Structure 1
């Protein structure tokens, strides 16, 4: 209706309303009718399109997003932001996948994180350094696997690992991130400015949820 009102062909924009995934496989072969595909979804969909499509494909948008909790954080405010980033819509590409926690606050902060995530139904995937502070808490905790750092969970799962300092947090993000959305929680202006300057992501946040933009 909107297209017709603007004098454009009503069939210029179409929607496939069926949730049947087999239709995706059919679409990937319609090179006679479709000039370009831009998949919007997780890594599995992107991989399927790259491998099966007979149509040129532009892929991107996968989000392995991080929050670094600095040693100067306000615990209550930090937990609220972390909950928003992880729980508000776990399947979104800018939801939180890995929480990096400064080792100097681990003994005090991680037990509080466990309570918050347990209430939200989040499973924590803990590094060896973080595990002792989470074991025995109310949240479901399992050991993180190295491959987990490179994948989107798209679910109520969260990697938790300790880092020595801001330098280590930035290094982790550079190694495992996808330049999508990353954030720092801190009361240090100098650390906030360094994080924004050194993390090369499309959206970099200070004391805000990664869910602030994109992802629906």
Structure 2
């Protein structure tokens, strides 16, 4: 009987062969394929939603929390969002072939630095089936192949989506083998993917801290690390109440299960007490469980029975739920020190009318994205105008922040001579 390792390697090798064809495809050919995928998703919507329902039913039976079910769920509106993302991605400039720099040496050699595809991307991710489409699309647009391995909890959804993508690729005249989906529940399939040196060019893990750390420890292939989002909102003493309330509620409640949702609220002690009180009541009314520091509870005794005690661990948790840690700080310096200790380097925001304080915050905070008077929820490839994103990198080498098209390219030097020798 064919071993799991053999089956996985066979799929990876098919992707490797397809990557050589993809690297030579024109922008028009790749964009035509993206539009074909969008049309196919609409045509297959009923089948995709039926497959997703199988995964949701099993997850509910297993007792998964509401935040997990939200990440797993597909709806007609979310499929339309995927279609819109594909259209937006097709409208983006193709980075492949772009000349990044060019110069001529004294000896007459003309040198160009030109963007090229990475080759074959391995993608390991959890729950969210939309990643299947986003990751495949951005890989294809940049002339890459991709091998996808989602969590087994979304296997029916992912197989349906991957089937639609492969069907559309074939119809558009591109190699369907450029998109491979590994349907195996065994962790060995991830291990094979992460150690397929010479076949896989980069591994991108996208999910919780456990998944990311497993891939980092197991992989002998270079890893483009995405990180968890313990995002902070700091309400400065000079914040306008209406703006602060709108930003905090959006960052926490609009979609609490995503990585750019705010998890910790830092409030300057000198912000008017009536504002502080109104904001806490607004969050509680929105169904947010607040885990507050002792100082916060002391400042709002009438809310003490509604505010849970924050433990030391609460400052480091990505809740992915309607839960928020709240701390009162005495100064901007205290807020910066708290963020430095507890941030995962994802997205951090300050709300203030004091431009000097805002500039200090933006310069001092070490994160992929820093905000002044805006919600952390904008850290997203689509919101940044990149079309679909393949993830949000919290590392500093090669790519950082929402990873759009250029993040899935490398470069090579093209040198033209007239017979020079050395």
TM-score by length of 1: 0.85
Q: Match of 1:161, SS?
A: strand
Contact 2:263 2:324 in 1 (8 A): yes
List per-residue Cα deviations over 1:63-107 (Å, max 9, x = no partner): 111111001111121011000001111111111011110011263
Whole-Å separation in 2 of the counterparts to 1:162 and 1:61? 26
- Residue 376 of structure 2 corresponds to 210
Offset of residue 122 of structure 1: 0.5
The worse-fitting range, judged by mean Cα deviation, of 100-109 and 132-141 is: 132-141
- Residue 97 of structure 1 corresponds to 263
- Residue 332 of structure 2 corresponds to 166
The worse-fitting range, judged by mean Cα deviation, of 107-116 and 174-183 is: 107-116
Offset of residue 135 of structure 1: 4.7
1:28/1:55 CA distance change after superposition, 3 Å = farther
Whole-Å separation in 1 of the counterparts to 2:186 and 2:356? 48
- Residue 132 of structure 1 corresponds to 298
TM-score by length of 2: 0.46
> Runs of 5+ in structure 1 lacking a partner?
none
1:138/1:77 CA distance change after superposition, 3 Å = farther
The worse-fitting range, judged by mean Cα deviation, of 199-208 and 128-137 is: 128-137
1:183/1:54 CA distance change after superposition, 3 Å = closer
Contact 1:181 1:202 in 2 (8 A): yes
Whole-Å separation in 2 of the counterparts to 1:90 and 1:24? 30
CA RMSD of aligned residues (A): 2.6
Contact 2:234 2:268 in 1 (8 A): yes
The worse-fitting range, judged by mean Cα deviation, of 32-41 and 157-166 is: 32-41
Whole-Å separation in 2 of the counterparts to 1:42 and 1:2? 31
The worse-fitting range, judged by mean Cα deviation, of 33-42 and 162-171 is: 33-42
Q: How does 1:108-119 map to 2 (within 5 A)?
A: 108-119=274-285
Q: How does 1:6-155 map to 2 (within 5 A)?
A: 7-15=173-181, 23=185, 25-31=187-193, 35=200, 36-50=202-216, 53=218, 56=221, 57-105=223-271, 107-137=273-303, 140-155=306-321
- Residue 4 of structure 1 corresponds to 170
Higher relative contact order (CA 8 A, sep 6+): 1
Contact 1:126 1:143 in 2 (8 A): yes
Q: Match of 1:63, SS?
A: coil
> Runs of 5+ in structure 2 lacking a partner?
1-166, 383-422
- Residue 201 of structure 1 corresponds to 367
Between Structure 1 and Structure 2, the one with more helix by share is 2
Whole-Å separation in 2 of the counterparts to 1:119 and 1:15? 43
Q: Match of 1:38, SS?
A: strand
Aligned length: 211
Contact 2:350 2:373 in 1 (8 A): yes
